[in-house]
Amino acid sequence: MEKRIYTVSTLTREIKEVLETSFPRLWVEGEISNFKRHSSGHFYFTLKDESAQIRCAMWRFKADALRFRLEDGLKVLLEADIQIYEKSGTYQLVVQQLQPAGIGDLQLAFEQLKKRLQAEGLFDPGRKKEIPLYPERIGVVTSATGAAIRDIVSVIWRRYPPVEILLYPVKVQGEGAAEEIAQAIKNFNDYGKTDVLIVGRGGGSLEDLWAFNEEVVARAIFSSRIPIVSAVGHEVDFTIADFVADRRAPTPSVAAEMVVPDRSELLGILAYYQERYKNHFFQKLNAYRDKISAFSKSYAFRRPEDILYQKIQRLDELLRIIQSAMEYAIERKKQRLDNLRLQLRALNPEEVLRRGYSICYKDGQILKNVKDLKTLDIVQVKLHKGQFISQVQMLGESE
């Protein structure tokens, strides 16, 4: 009987066919290790338990659908097909879908994003902006048809009618909702004429509210120069938007109360200050009236001409004092100038020469020491009147 000889490729291909057809799509539970995200977007990792491990691949079009991040140590439950990778002759699982083991994928994605953004400082209380007390224009980012906008408008117009409300309608759930919300926040900042923003929607399930847990919305809120109140309609649970926003309101109605004052309270305050300042005004008026009455009875009003002449006389006295002081100061300056003039004259070299002294030069330099001369040197001698040239014949020792 003739023996059959396989090539490596043929054997691998037959093993691949047997293995892949013998095992239908299956579910496997284990722990992720050696996780890598390739530049192509594909995921590669090892799924292991305490006794064994198997390589896994998850193609990009499947990986992009994950709401949470894969990382080493994460326990997962995955649905996959067994496949032989012919180039290395190894078998692997090609993952079709994947979910956390023991916790929902949305909750895990929430916790992962919350932890990462908190580490980056997006929740830092020190960077949160103050809500203006008396806004002129309020921007609202929500659905145009939901109950949230009706509640916000109703509360604001009841509490503070002068304010202007600008609605930027967006999707608040479903595909593309997070991107619309983030773009609306950016556009309000580019517009630059809004004092505060309310970003939110009415209540719903975790899936319904998920747009407000997306990273793109969190970063848009963080980057906003305009103060933002997060108003997602859930009393107990928080969204990522709540943590990043400058203020968090449990409902859109409460958010509306936060951003505007109460007109009735303002009217009460105005009435109080109106009465207070009116009383203050009349007290001041009566006090000034009493002062005017006292002034009208004083000596100044009875003898104004006498007071005027006294002021004129005092002015003349001051002028005389000033004039005398100036003359004395000028005289002292003249004496000082004469003394300086005499000192300068005494220090003038010409005055020294006048008394019989002379100045000797050698090569244009004034001689101060006989050691600078030698026999037969030519010396220029300057006298008070005239000068002459001499030659050194003999040098004496200096004392």
Looking up residue 21, the CATH number of its domain turns out to be: 2.40.50.140
DSSP letter at 127 equals: G
Lowest mean pLDDT among 11-15, 37-41, 251-255: 11-15
Cβ atoms of residues 139 and 198 within 8 Å: yes
Asked which of 215, 235, 261 is the last residue of a domain, the reply is 261
CB atoms within 10 A of CB 33: 14
Lowest mean pLDDT among 68-72, 141-145, 273-277, 293-297: 293-297
Cβ atoms of residues 120 and 76 within 8 Å: no
Q: Which of 131, 125, 152 is nearest to 141 (CA)?
A: 152
Give the integer Cα–Cα distance in Å for 38 and 122.
28
Whether residues 120 and 175 share a domain: the answer is yes
**Can you give the CATH number for the domain in which 128 is found?**
3.40.50.261
> Residue 130, CB half-sphere, CA atoms under 13 Å: how many?
4
Burial class (CB in 10 A: 0-12, 13-18, 19+), 388: exposed
248-254 average pLDDT score: 92
* Amino acid identity, position 100: P
3-state secondary structure of 28: strand
Asked which of 102, 121, 145 is the last residue of a domain, the reply is 102
Q: Which of 316, 92, 117 is nearest to 214 (CA)?
A: 117
Whether residues 159 and 208 share a domain: the answer is yes
Whether residues 115 and 133 share a domain: the answer is yes
Whether residues 147 and 218 share a domain: the answer is yes
Q: Is residue 307 part of a domain?
A: no
Asked which of 79, 102, 125 is the last residue of a domain, the reply is 102
Whether residues 93 and 129 share a domain: the answer is no
Q: Is residue 206 part of a domain?
A: yes
Q: Is residue 292 part of a domain?
A: no
Calculate what percentage of the chain has a pLDDT beyond 90. 38
Q: Is residue 231 part of a domain?
A: yes
* pLDDT band at residue 272 using 50, 70 and 90 as cut-offs: confident
Whether residues 116 and 183 share a domain: the answer is yes
* pLDDT band at residue 305 using 50, 70 and 90 as cut-offs: low
Whether residues 120 and 18 share a domain: the answer is no
Q: Is residue 202 part of a domain?
A: yes
Whether residues 88 and 119 share a domain: the answer is no
Whether residues 92 and 218 share a domain: the answer is no
Whether residues 75 and 163 share a domain: the answer is no
Does residue 237 have a pLDDT over 70? no
Whether residues 93 and 16 share a domain: the answer is yes
DSSP letter at 125 equals: G
Which structural domain, as residue segments, surrounds residue 139?
111-261
Whether residues 115 and 257 share a domain: the answer is yes
Overall domain count for the chain: 3
DSSP letter at 364 equals: T
Q: Of 66-70, 80-84, 213-217, 388-392, which has the strongest mean pLDDT? A: 213-217
* pLDDT band at residue 143 using 50, 70 and 90 as cut-offs: very high
Which tokens hold the place of 72?
Answer: 């080493």
Give the rounded distance of the alpha carbon of 70 from its chain centre: 33
Q: Is residue 316 part of a domain?
A: no
Q: How far is CA 24 from CA 14, 16, 48, 82, 384, in A?
A: 17, 13, 20, 8, 130
Give the integer Cα–Cα distance in Å for 10 and 7.
5
Cβ atoms of residues 209 and 231 within 8 Å: no
What is the structure's pLDDT at 303? 66
Q: Is residue 367 part of a domain?
A: yes
What dihedral do alpha carbons 365, 367, 372, 378 form, nearest 10°? 70
Q: Is residue 93 part of a domain?
A: yes
Terminal alpha carbon distance of the chain: 138
